[in-house]
Structure 1
Amino acid sequence: MTNSRERMIDRIRAGLRATRPFLETESARASHTPPPFVHPITHDDLAQQFAAELTKLQAYPHFCADDEAALEVIAGLIEQYQAQEVITWDFERINLPGLAELLRQRGVTRLDGRIAGTPEQRAALLPAHERAPVCIAGVDAAIAESATLVIHSGAGRPRMASLLAPVFIAVIHREQFVRGLGEAIERIKQTYGSVFADASALTLITGPSRTADIELTLTLGVHGPREVHAVIIG
């Protein structure tokens, strides 16, 4: 088995060596500038376009004039889903003053979404996070033409805070909207530089998680949140 595997890998390596000059030439000829958007412009206001597309995905935009209004929306959602525990980014990463105090006043326990350590330690930590009905996080960009949230995970920004709980609340500021994916990727590269190239946790979220079986029966919430709420500030 080992010899067969090595022979197969050697053939792949030989093939790559033979085709590399051609591939490098073709790559050099291609444009590496991503298009700013793909679909026709439907709104002058990117936030309105995002909200319209998000609604088509059976998700929920909430326009808030300021931070106080955003906190009121989040408080209402916490009450609606009777959340006693929530998974969140570090509060300073979400950039919503008053969120920590809101959770404290309502007696809501914050879980930081960090599952680290040995396999045994991770297995012990996970059940507590699985009980949380709501997760709250910020975003790096919000793509208007597809209502996609772009999230670069990292220190204080655990990926679990946007994927594990059934209900995801995304806090978005007006300046974070972009027209298309190309603009979003450029913004990420400008923000994180070379760190972005080595990252494996760039998450794109377009509405609730959707999964279909072989009979094409669609189910929400199997591999991610069942509901997505976008709290748009400004």
Structure 2
Amino acid sequence: MIQNRTPFLNKISASLNRTEINAQPPVKEWQHRPVEKKLSHLTSDELMPAFIEQCGVLKNTTIVEVEAAQAMKEIDAAVQKFGGQSVALWDDERLTALGIEQLTTSKWIDEGMAVHIWDSALGRTENFERTNASNIGIAYAEYALAESGTVVLYSAEGQGKAVGLLPNVFIAIVKKSTLLPRMTQAASKIKEDFANTQLLPAAVDFISGPSNSADIEMDLVVGVHGPIFAHYIVLSDQ
């Protein structure tokens, strides 16, 4: 919950010589709204080709579409493909519903993998250390953006953002029905999601493939600030 907001805003208003705080955002009557129109006429099925194409543009980014019943098989295949060793993932009921426990409590353990499920009771430091030591991170995306090959994550209890940032490989699970045209629609969805609550996510992350940087001599380097590889698993029937 936001604390001390009113005194803070009153102080800013006084500095600007304003006598009252406008609690409502100003109405913007734009003559043209091109950002709301691009790709917006397409269904999620029709957006998939654009999403796949953009993921192909992003370096070291792969995408596969499967039915939910095959999700665990695909997640396991992806983990094996990227070397296994150690996995960090969210404590997320959506992953549980897909059957992730058959991997985290049985198969991966039997194969000698180190598995860390984000545990708020451990505290921030230990969760970060265990996640940082993991080769692969797995999270569940709220939305995906066709235009940019982006997945949107909400950080919350049990869902630390580090899972998508620290391991060498990031695997995101995406419902096909949550595929949106672009950032404009994502912003609207986020506003809708939290319109009736003050309990906001700790962070909203927009991840477009692996970490890329060209700060030095304009040479593109992958993995400087985050994962080297990104893999999106789209659930076609959800």
Give TM-score, length-normalised by structure 1. 0.76
Higher helix share: 1
Q: Is the 8 A contact 1:171 1:230 kept in 2?
A: yes
Q: CA deviation at 1:34?
A: 9.6
Partner of 1:212: 214
Partner of 2:8: none
CA distance in 1, matches of 2:99, 2:188: 31
**Secondary structure in 2 aligned to 1:157?**
coil
**For structure 2, which runs of at least 5 residues remain unmatched after alignment?**
1-11
Which of 157, 166, 169 aligns to 1:167? It is: 169
RMSD: 3.3
Q: % of aligned pairs identical? A: 24
Q: Map 1:1-234 onto structure 2 (within 5 A).
A: 17=16, 28=26, 30-31=28-29, 35-38=35-38, 45-58=46-59, 59-64=61-66, 66-94=67-95, 97-103=98-104, 104-107=106-109, 108-114=113-119, 122=125, 126-193=128-195, 195=197, 199=201, 201-234=203-236
CA distance in 2, matches of 1:202, 1:214: 28
Q: CA deviation at 1:131?
A: 1.9
Q: CA deviation at 1:67?
A: 2.2
Give TM-score, length-normalised by structure 2. 0.75
Q: CA deviation at 1:35?
A: 4.1
Amino acid in structure 1 at the alignment position of 2:148: S
Residues 117 and 171 from structure 1, CA distance in 2 versus in 1: closer, same or farther, beyond 3 angstroms?
A: closer
- Structure number with larger C-alpha Rg: 1
Partner of 1:10: none
Q: Which moved more, 1:88-97 or 1:222-231?
A: 88-97
**Secondary structure in 2 aligned to 1:28?**
coil
CA distance in 1, matches of 2:93, 2:127: 24
**For structure 1, which runs of at least 5 residues remain unmatched after alignment?**
1-12
Q: CA deviation at 1:31?
A: 4.0
Q: CA deviation at 1:116?
A: 7.6
Q: Is the 8 A contact 2:63 2:231 kept in 1?
A: yes
Q: CA deviation at 1:105?
A: 1.4
**Secondary structure in 2 aligned to 1:152?**
strand
**Secondary structure in 1 aligned to 2:187?**
helix
